Amino acid sequence: MSRENRGLGKGLSAVLGESAPAVDQLRKPVGYLNKEIVGTRPRQDSSDIFRIPMEMIEANPFQPRMSFDQESLDELAASIRSLGLIQPITVRKISNAKYQIISGERRFKACRMAGMAMIPAYVRDTNDQGMLEMAIVENVQRENLDPIETAVSYRRLIEECNLTQDQMADRLGKKRATVANMLRLLKLPVKVQHDLKVGELSVGHAKVILGVDDSTVQEQLCDLVLAEGLNVRQLEAVVRKIQLGHKLTGGRKRKEAAPLPDSYGRLAGCMGKFFAKDISVRRSSTGKGTLTINFSSDGEIDRFLEALENVQA
């Protein structure tokens, strides 16, 4: 008896029939249906997921992350509009009508951008110290913190949660030497920490610079890396010479930034018509850079957006 060829190699329509819906139509947003938070509730199991009104949730005052990438937030909000929130946030109850985020502030911000009225959440019982520890550990393990944010988070675990380096390393699942090396970054001069934070200096460079005790020489070494593009091995060679008694010649300065083309000044002038605060433009010699707009109200954004839409029309 012959079997009808079902055409499994011809795609989804061959399996489900010509009337099969598109994949996007099959992919429904995730939903959490078990409970909603309204007023006082008896204690529930920690595995329960509740749907909590957004207005009943406040931000985490212990949030280690100092900034959130707007483009990344926009992408997450778009995903949530389409698929729902895949991973619930975690909160603690601080009153009958108020909850505080333990972890998931980025997800919370994206849900608010997506226009959600309710957000799925785990509710944990914890005090301030327990909350701080959970928030820091969760962020260090899961979020893309820069090296200085990570080091500050480690220091907070030690100072505010009364942990030793060994205890902290155990909670983070890291070696004690790794923890100690990250904490040492906070001993660097402010200028060097800044360059490390914004990505102009690598952690490898910073560890080599820490091999010199003099803070002035540390700053000069940082400037030398930026001015001449030294890699870590080249920097190690310079530090070895210093340790053998050689002086860093002349304390070289960073290359002066190339003058910006006139078009950049015109752009800043146009933007300044809509925004009262400073607008900064930073450009590398390759033409790559950043444009930073500081605004003081939603009205400035609305006026700027209206002008853009009128141009496009």
Query: Would you name the residues annotated as active-site residues?
Result: 105
- The 10 Å Cβ neighbour count of residue 293 is 16
Q: Please, what is the angle between helix 215-228 and helix 190-197, to 10°?
A: 40
- Rounded to whole angstroms, the Cα distance separating 35 from 230 reads 57
- Rounded to whole angstroms, the Cα distance separating 210 from 70 reads 33
- The first and second tokens of residue 159, run together, are 């100072």
- CA 183-188-190 angle, 5° bins: 120
- The first and second tokens of residue 10, run together, are 């011809």
What phi, psi does 167 have (nearest 5°)? -65, -40
Three-state SS across 103-171?
Answer: ECHHHHHHHHHCCCCEEEEEEECCCHHHHHHHHHHHHHHHCCCCHHHHHHHHHHHHHHCCCCHHHHHHH
- Our measurement of the distance from residue 65's CA atom to the centroid of its chain's CA atoms, rounded to an integer in Å, reads 6
